[in-house]
Amino acid sequence: MTLLEVRDLHVDFHTRDGIVKAVNGVNYQVEAGETLAVLGESGSGKSVTAQAVMGILDMPPGRIPKGEILFHGEDMLTMSKEERRKIRGARIAMIFQDALSSLNPVLSVGYQLAEMFRVHQGASRKEAKAKAVELMDRVKIPAAKARVSDYPHQFSGGMRQRIMIAMALALEPDLIIADEPTTALDVTVQAQVMELLADLQREFNMGLILITHDLGVVADVADKIAVMYAGRIVETAPVKELYKAPAHPYTKGLLESIPRLDQKGKELYAIQGLPPNMAKVPDGCAFHPRCPVARDVCRSELPPLAEVGEGRGSACHFWKETLGE
Amino acid sequence: MSEESQRTEQTERREPILEVRDLVKHFPLTQGVLFKRQVGAVKAVDGISFDLYPGETLGIVGESGCGKSTVAKLLMNLEAPTSGTIRYKGEDITKLSGRALKAVRRNIQMVFQDPYTSLNPRMTVGDIIGEPFDIHPEVAPKGDRRRKVQELLDVVGLNPEYVNRYPHQFSGGQRQRIGIARGLALRPEIIVADEPVSALDVSVQAQVVNLMERLQDEFGLSYMFIAHDLSIVRHISDRVGVMYLGKMAEIGSDEEIYEHPTHPYTQALLSAVPVPDPEAEGRRERIVLEGDVPSPANPPSGCRFRTRCWKAEARCAEEVPLLAIPTPFEKAESGVAHPSACHFAEERAAVVAA
C-alpha cells in the first residue's frame, strides 16, 4: 500500500482581501524508502501542502474545502483530533528550516528530546534521558552524553539541525517531511546534514518529502520531483528525466536560469516578471504572463496535468513542444 | 589565449581603484559591568589584502562567520579597522574624517542583502532613492531631484510612476531593484554588494544578476560581490577571493579558483556545492568536512583551517601559511599559479566545480 497519497487537495485562506487559494488540487504519492522533492518558489503552496499533511495548518484562517490525505490508505482529514495527534510526531515527523526558532530556548535539548518518549511512550525520566543520549549519538553529535543538558543556543547551526533530525527520528516514523532543512546552513555543513538524512532514511526505510527551492539539493537526493507554481503541481517526473528534458516551460526556465560555465560573461536566462499574487492568480494557466510560449488558449483554459511519459506529468498545453526542443 | 585571461591581464596593468592592505578588525570581548575589562577579541578580519581594479568584479565567498560582511562594512567606513589601510585612489580612507570622508563615501556605495529590512517602510520609494541627494546636494539640485529619481527607477527596470509608492507594495525582487537604484543615485565608482540576491526567489535572482551586469557596463562600475552562492559568484566575477575565519585562503581569477583550486578549503567548498545535474552528481567525489567553523574569538594556531583539514600536519599548527603563489607552482603555465595560503597546496583531480 502506498505510504502517503495526497488526492486533489485544496487549501484556502480567508483574509481581509478575500479568499486566497493557496493550494488548488494537488496530487502526489510517496512510497516507503522513497524521496519526493517538492520544488517551488515562495508562495507556490509547497509548505502549505506539507502543513496540511502534517496537520499543523492554522485553521482558521486556513480551510481544506476539498481533498483527501491518505496515510496507509486511511484518510487523515476525516480522523478525530485524538487519532491525528497519535500520528503526528510518531508516524509522520517534520523537520523545519530554522532550528533555532523551532527549539524551545529555555529547555535543554535533552529535555526536549526526552519529552517525545515521555509523552508518546510514557517512558520514565531516566529512560527517556538515556534514549535522548542514544539519539544524539545516532545523529553524530560529538560527546552526546556531556552535551545532553546543554541549551539550544550552545549549539552551532549544523548541530541544532541535527537535533531537529534526532527529534523527528525519535519515534521511528514512517514518513519525514523536511521543509527547507538546509537552507539556513553553510554549504559545507549542508553537505553533512543532507548526507546524514539520506543515511538515516535508508537505514529506517522511511519515506521523505523534501521541500526546497534549491535545484542542486534536489538533484542530489531525490528520486522523483513535483514542481509547484501558484498552488498547483505543474510538472512531476523522476529526477533524472526532469533535469534532462523538462516538460513545462516554468521548470525549463528555472533550469536555464542557473549560471553555467559556457554562459560566462553572457546574460543569464531569466524568467520574465514576478511570481503571481495568490489573491489574484491569472486566469487560464497561472504561468502564462511569464511564459515564452504562451498563446491564446493559455489565457483562457487551465491546462490539466497531462501524462507525458512513464511516471511523468506536465500541466502545459504545449508540453510536446517544450519536451521536443 | 582565451578572452577571459586577456581581460584579466588588461585589468592587471591598470592602477587599482581600491588597495586593501593587512586589514584587521577585532571586536573586543569585555567582562564586568562597571569596570569593563577586555578579556579577548573576536578576530572577525585578521590581516586581509587585496586590490580592486576599475570596472572589475571581485567576488568574495566564504561561510557565515568568515568575516566577509565585516570586510564590506570596513570598506564602507561603517566600522573603523583595528589596523591596516584601505586606499581609494591612493588615499587612505581609514584616516579621513569630515568633508574629505564625505567626498570619498559618495564614490563607494552599498547594496544590502535583505530588501525587506534595508528600506524604510515609512518612506516612499522616491524619498528612499532621493535621500542620498540630501547628503550630497551637489549631485542633483533640488528642483531636479524628482526627475533624477524617475530616471533611476527606469534604469533599474521599474516603472517611473511608482515614485510615490511604499516598499510594502513591491515584491522582493523589485525591492532589491530599489536598493540598487539608491546605490546608484550618487553615480559611485564602487558598489559593495553584500549577498544581493540570496534573499530572492530563484526565478528572480537571474533578473537581478543581469541587471547588475548591465549597469556595470553602462556606468563602468567596480563591484565587490559578496555571496555564498558559488555558481552566481563565478558567473559575475572576474576574480574571486575565498575567505575562511578572517583570512583570505585563496585568491585568483575565476578560472584559477574554480578550475585549479589549490587550497584544501576551496576544494572542499567547491565539492560540497550540490550540482543541479543528477548524472554529474553521481560521478563526482565529494569532500565532506568534519565539524564546524571554529570560533573567531579563539581561532586555531597556525593555519586556521587545520582543525578541519585532512592534510594537516604538525607544521600547520605552528606556522601561519602566507597568501602567496606556492613555490612549486611559481613557474607553472596553467591556472595553478595564483596565491593560496596553504603549506601543502596542490591540485586535486576530482574536484568538479559548480
CA–CA distance, B70 with A188 (Å, rounded to integer):
21
Grid cell of A190 as nine digits: 549542508
Helix spans in B14-144 (H): 68-75, 98-107, 125-135
* Mean pLDDT, chain A, whole residue set: 87
B200 Cβ partners below 8 Å, 6+ apart? B115, B172, B173, B176, B208
**What is the arithmetic mean of pLDDT over B163-174?**
86
> Contact, B236 vs B61, CB < 8 A?
no
Q: Judge whether residue A102 has pLDDT over 90.
A: no
**What is the arithmetic mean of pLDDT over B186-205?**
86
Confidence tier at A135 by pLDDT (50, 70, 90): confident
Task: Report the gap between the CA of A192 and the closest CA in chain B (Å).
Answer: 6
b vs e for B91-117, b when ≥16 Cβ sit within 10 Å of the residue's Cβ? eebeebeeeeeeebbbbbbbbbbebee
Task: Report the gap between the CA of A70 and the closest CA in chain B (Å).
Answer: 30
Tell which residue, B63, B65, B203, B186, has the closest CA to residue B136. B186
Q: Is B276–A213 a contact, with Cβ atoms under 8 angstroms apart?
A: no
**What is the arithmetic mean of pLDDT over A38-53?**
88
Angle of CA points B314, B25, B116, to nearest 5°: 115
B217 Cβ partners below 8 Å, 6+ apart? none
Confidence tier at A70 by pLDDT (50, 70, 90): very high
**What is the arithmetic mean of pLDDT over A167-188?**
85
**What is the arithmetic mean of pLDDT over B170-194?**
89
Q: Using a pLDDT cut of 90, give the percent of chain B over it.
A: 40
- Domain extents for chain B? 3-329
Angle of CA points A292, A297, A299, to nearest 5°: 70
| Predicted pLDDT at A114 | 92
Task: Report the gap between the CA of B146 and the closest CA in chain A (Å).
Answer: 26
Selected residue of A42, A268, A272, A291 to mutate for chain B interface (largest B Cβ count, 10 A)? A268
Structure-model confidence comparison of residues B217 and B328, the more confident one: B217
The CATH superfamily holding the domain B3-329 is P-loop containing nucleotide triphosphate hydrolases (3.40.50.300)
Q: DSSP readout, B274-314?
A: PPS-HHHHHHSPP-PPPS-PPPTTSPPSSSTTGGG-SS--H
Q: Using a pLDDT cut of 90, give the percent of chain A over it.
A: 25
CA–CA distance, B287 with B261 (Å, rounded to integer):
14
Taking any CB pair shorter than 8 Å as contact, residues of chain B touching chain A are: 3-4, 63-64, 171-174, 201-207, 209-210, 213-214, 228, 230-232, 234-235, 254, 268-269, 272-279, 281, 286, 288-289, 292-293, 353-354
Give ipTM to 2 decimals.
Answer: 0.75
Confidence tier at B293 by pLDDT (50, 70, 90): confident
Instruction: With beta carbons under 8 A apart, name residues in chain A contacting B210.
Output: 267-268, 270
Confidence tier at B281 by pLDDT (50, 70, 90): low
| Predicted pLDDT at B354 | 43
b vs e for A257-274, b when ≥16 Cβ sit within 10 Å of the residue's Cβ? bbbbeeeeeeebbbbeeb
Q: Judge whether residue B8 has pLDDT over 60.
A: no
Nearest CA in chain A to B295: A156
A150 inside 8 A of chain B by CB:
no
Weakest-pLDDT range from A133-137, B17-21, B287-291: B287-291
Residues 244-303 of A with CB under 8 A from B: 253-255, 257-261, 263-265, 267-272, 274-275, 290
Q: Is B206–A218 a contact, with Cβ atoms under 8 angstroms apart?
A: no
Q: Judge whether residue B3 has pLDDT over 70.
A: no
Q: Pseudo-torsion of CA B289, B294, B296, B301, nearest 10°?
A: -90
Of B279, B288, B293, the CB nearest to A192: B288
Structure-model confidence comparison of residues B81 and B6, the more confident one: B81
Nearest CA in chain B to A196: B288
Grid cell of B310 as nine digits: 585532512
Q: Is A255–B281 a contact, with Cβ atoms under 8 angstroms apart?
A: no
Q: Is B171–A275 a contact, with Cβ atoms under 8 angstroms apart?
A: yes
| Predicted pLDDT at B265 | 93
Instruction: With beta carbons under 8 A apart, name residues in chain B contacting A157.
Output: 64
Structure-model confidence comparison of residues A42 and A317, the more confident one: A317
Q: Judge whether residue B86 has pLDDT over 60.
A: yes
Weakest-pLDDT range from A241-255, B259-273, B328-342: B328-342
Nearest CA in chain B to A41: B201
Q: Is B274–A253 a contact, with Cβ atoms under 8 angstroms apart?
A: no
Selected residue of B2, B202, B266, B279 to mutate for chain A interface (largest A Cβ count, 10 A)? B202
Q: Is B235–A191 a contact, with Cβ atoms under 8 angstroms apart?
A: no
**What is the arithmetic mean of pLDDT over A49-76?**
88
| Length of chain B in terms of residues written | 354
pLDDT in tens, B95-153: 888 888 888 889 999 998 888 888 999 999 999 999 999 888 888 888 888 888 998 99
Residue A125 burial by Cβ neighbours in a 10 Å radius (0-12, 13-18, 19+): exposed
Nearest CA in chain B to A240: B278
Nearest CA in chain A to B173: A274
φ, ψ for residue B256, nearest 5 deg: -60, -40
| Predicted pLDDT at A210 | 92
Q: A with B: how many residue pairs have Cβ under 8 Å apart?
A: 117
Grid cell of A266 as nine digits: 553572457
**What is the arithmetic mean of pLDDT over B296-324?**
90
Task: Report the gap between the CA of B350 and the closest CA in chain A (Å).
Answer: 17
| Predicted pLDDT at B13 | 58
| Predicted pLDDT at A320 | 84
Q: Judge whether residue A47 has pLDDT over 70.
A: yes
Confidence tier at A37 by pLDDT (50, 70, 90): very high
* Mean pLDDT, chain B, whole residue set: 86
**What is the arithmetic mean of pLDDT over A17-33?**
88
Residues 42-61 of A with CB under 8 A from B: 42
Residues 81-110 of A with CB under 8 A from B: none
pLDDT in tens, B220-276: 999 999 988 888 899 999 999 999 999 999 999 998 998 899 999 999 988 888 777
Q: Which domains does chain A show, CATH number per domain?
A: 4-222 (3.40.50.300), 229-324 (no CATH)
Weakest-pLDDT range from A11-20, A124-133, B240-249: A11-20
Weakest-pLDDT range from A283-297, B195-209, B240-254: B195-209
| Predicted pLDDT at B353 | 45
Structure-model confidence comparison of residues A182 and B338, the more confident one: B338
Tell which residue, A54, A42, A140, has the closest CA to residue A92. A54
| Predicted pLDDT at A176 | 92
Instruction: With beta carbons under 8 A apart, name residues in chain A contacting B266.
Output: none
